[in-house]
Amino acid sequence: MVGGEVRLRQTHSGLRDGGGIDRGALGSYTETMGLMCRVFRLAVMVCVLCLGAWPAAAQGDAHGAATARAFARLRDDPVRLLAFLAAMPKGADLHNHLDGAINAEDFVAHAVAVGLCIDVGQHAIRRPPCTKQDPPAGEALARDAGLRDAMIDALSMRGFVAVPGGETGHDHFFATFAKFHEAAADDPGALMATEARRAAAEHIAYLEIMWTPHVRSAIGLAATMRWQGDDFAADLAALGGGLRGLVARARAETDAAEARKDALLGCGTPRAQPGCGVVIRFQAYSLRTFPPAAVFAQMAFDFALAAADPRYVGVNIVAPEDDKVAVRDYTLHMRALGFFHHAYPAIKLSLHAGELAPGLVAADALRFHIRQAVEIAGASRIGHGTDVMGEQDSAGLLAEMAHGHVAVEINLTSNAQILGVQGAAHPFGSYRRAGVPVVICTDDEGVERTTLTDEYVRAAETWHLSYGELKSLSLASLRYSFLPAGEKARLEGRLDAAFRAFEERF
Ligand SMILES: [Zn+2]
């Protein structure tokens, strides 16, 4: 290259100095043209060699850029924004509870279909035998024209408005679970089919659902053990052999639920519904509001189940974090989870932590929950993390999460309804600025009357996100899933293809 530059300079000087083209200059000119021709031929060869791959990538980039421009034009139009994000591929919903995902209408219909009862005073679904106060659901609904609407309001956040001195959003939200429990517990496979159908319609490839069969039996195991305090090895030994049988029963129930889901969706038949293509895995969870022995027994069961059954890809801890037992035992729970995590290092943890707001708990409880979930329990993902800016050394914690690739599952509607945290008060922007991996999830879409699409809309509107940022959130939801590497790569390939097809429309 250096020689070529010298010759070109010589040529220019010959033209300039002589006022015409002398023989020396002509010789240089010929040499230079020869060199340029060789360079040109080489460039053509390189282009020919690249021809197979380069134009497709360039086309993809062009489609992506056109999609981003189209999105920028429609972003401020809520109707078109909703339609755009409904059609956009959304990799996964990593934070959703099986029963909370179901609409109240489905629970009421199920109660009628199988003859459950309705507590007309409490607007709750009860198990038979029905009584005068708790008549059969069908009969009660036929008798009272307003009861169906009242039931839907009681089993969800529909129409809920907090009034001073009245029920809070937090209390109304958590009260729904006991009211629909009898309908939800009956047929988990049907609930999964409902979730899968909805996910397919929303272009979601993967659901990581929180569901634990026989969680009450796991709590019951604690009754047979002598709690040794925080000598966890002794506590585990005291649980005895009951765990193994319980794990076998839970796996059999998982088989049955999946078979039921597949049958409802027609999977494996010519009439297979799109929901059959949605991959579903589970997180086993413990309810944190029970006495220490009962929470510990659940954790032992969750880890044993996840170790025995690859459909359970992670472990979680659920129920109101502000509950007085949950607050009292928070550090104990994190230490117990850390103990099990050490015993089962391959099993990943996603923990509800920092689902709190100032005033809901004493200020002390706002300062350490997320940090302990990460540092003591070893969480790979944090559910909610809403109070992160109240943590001691929040900047250090955010940096630690970013450095350790600990993702945060953001549930915007849930945080607004339960905690009253929304808009500029939500730490979504703080997490992103700190480089913490962020994923958008639903939490309890049935109770909240939301969808994953709605959650993307809410994020896009509140933080003025670009198409590229929304696409990154979608890609991150698969990247930070707990799927094994091969399965994850397969779904990521599917998601890339879905984005290419989506962007080609623009
Ligand atoms: Zn949750």
Spatial CB neighbours of 300, under 8 Å, sequence gap ≥ 6: 218, 221, 236, 239, 243, 340
What residues pair up with 93 in beta bridges, in sequence order? 207
Whether the predicted pLDDT of 43 surpasses 70? no
Q: How far is the CA of 115 from the centre of ligand 1 (A)?
A: 30
Nearest-CA neighbor of 325 among 294, 352, 351?
294
Mean pLDDT of 88-109: 98
Cα 274 to the center of its chain, rounded Å:
20
Average pLDDT of 14-19? 33
Q: How big is the chain, counted in residues? A: 506
Q: How confident is the model at residue 35 (pLDDT cuts 50, 70, 90)?
A: low
Percentage, residues of the chain above pLDDT 90 = 84
Read off the pLDDT of each residue in 256-275 and give the average, rounded to a whole number: 98
pLDDT value at 379 more than 50? yes
What CATH topology corresponds to 81-99+185-504?
TIM Barrel (3.20.20)
Confidence of residue 230 (pLDDT cuts 50, 70, 90): confident
| Residue 134 φ/ψ region, left for φ over 0, alpha for ψ in the -120 to 50 degree band, beta for the rest | beta
User: How close is the Cα of 396 to the center of ligand 1, in Å?
Assistant: 25
- Would you give the DSSP letter of residue 169? H
Contact 317, 352 (CB under 8 A): yes
Q: Average of pLDDT values for 270-296?
A: 97
Single pTM value for the model: 0.88
Q: 88 C-alpha to center of ligand 1: Å?
A: 24
State residue 16's pLDDT score.
34
**Integer Rg of the chain from CA:** 29
Specify whether the CB–CB gap between 318 and 353 falls below 8 A. Answer: no
Mention every residue, 6+ apart, whose C-beta is less than 8 A from residue 76: none
Tell me the CA–centroid distance for residue 449 and ligand 1, in Å.
15
- pLDDT tens profile 123-144: 999 999 999 999 999 999 999 9
- Position 13 pLDDT exceeds 90: no
Residue 235 pLDDT > 50? yes
43 CA to centre of ligand 1 in angstroms: 57
What is the arithmetic mean of pLDDT over 338-357?
98
Expressed in angstroms and rounded, the spacing between residue 355 Cα and the centre of ligand 1 is 9
pLDDT of residue 406: 98
Asked if residue 12 has pLDDT above 50, the reply is no
Instruction: Output the CA angle 443-448-452, nearest 5 degrees.
Output: 55
- The confidence band for 9, taking pLDDT boundaries of 50, 70 and 90, is very low
Three-state SS sequence of 105-165: HHHHHHHHHHCCEEECCCCEEECCCCCCCCCEHHHHHHHCCCHHHHHHHHCCCCCCCCCCC
Q: Which of the four pLDDT bands, split at 50, 70 and 90, describes residue 61?
A: confident
Residue 343 has pLDDT above 90, yes or no: yes
Report how far ligand 1's centroid is from the alpha carbon of 349 (Å): 14
Residue 98 C-alpha to ligand 1 middle, in angstroms? Answer: 10
Establish whether the linkage from the previous residue to 129 is cis, with ω within 30° of 0: yes
Q: How many CA atoms lie within 13 A of 377 on its CB side?
A: 30
Q: State yes or no: pLDDT of 8 exceeds 50.
A: no
CB atoms closer than 10 angstroms to residue 59: 13
pLDDT of residue 113 exceeding 80, the answer is: yes
The rounded Å distance from CA 319 to ligand 1 centre is 8
Q: Measure 353 CA to ligand 1 centroid, in angstroms.
A: 10
471-498 tens-digit pLDDT: 999 999 999 999 999 999 999 999 999 9
Query: Would you place residue 198 in the very low, low, confident or very high pLDDT band (cuts 50, 70, 90)?
Result: very high
Distance from the alpha carbon of residue 87 to the mean position of ligand 1, in angstroms:
25
Tell me what pLDDT residue 59 has. Answer: 74
Distance from residue 350's CA to the centre of ligand 1 (Å): 10
Looking at residue 58, what is its pLDDT? 72
Does the pLDDT at position 201 exceed 50?
yes
Grade residue 36 by pLDDT with cuts at 50, 70 and 90: low
> Ligand 1 center to residue 443 CA distance, Å?
5
Ligand 1: centre distance to CA 318 (Å): 7
- Mean pLDDT of the 16-40 span: 44
Expressed in angstroms and rounded, the spacing between residue 366 Cα and the centre of ligand 1 is 18
CA of 384 to the centre of ligand 1 (A): 8
Give me the mean pLDDT over the 281-302 stretch.
97
Asked if the model's pLDDT at residue 339 lies above 50, the reply is yes
Q: How far is the CA of 210 from the centre of ligand 1 (A)?
A: 8
Q: How far is the CA of 95 from the centre of ligand 1 (A)?
A: 6
For residue 483, how far is its CA from the centre of ligand 1 (angstroms)? Answer: 19
Question: Can you tell me the distance from the alpha carbon of 485 to that of 473, in angstroms, rounded to the nearest whole number?
Answer: 19
pLDDT of residue 104: 98
Distance 376 CA to ligand 1 centre (A): 20
Q: What is the mean pLDDT of residues 232-259?
A: 94
The mean per-residue pLDDT over the stretch 272-292 comes to 98
Q: What is the mean pLDDT of residues 350-362?
A: 96
Average pLDDT of the residues of the chain:
90
Average pLDDT, stretch 272-286?
A: 98
pLDDT of residue 351: 98
Cα of 502 from ligand 1 centre, angstroms: 30
Count H helices, E strands: the chain?
A: 23, 10
Q: Where are the domains of the chain?
A: 2-50, 81-99+185-504, 107-180
**pLDDT tens-digit series, residues 79-95:** 999 999 999 999 999 99
Q: Give the pLDDT mean for 64-76.
A: 96
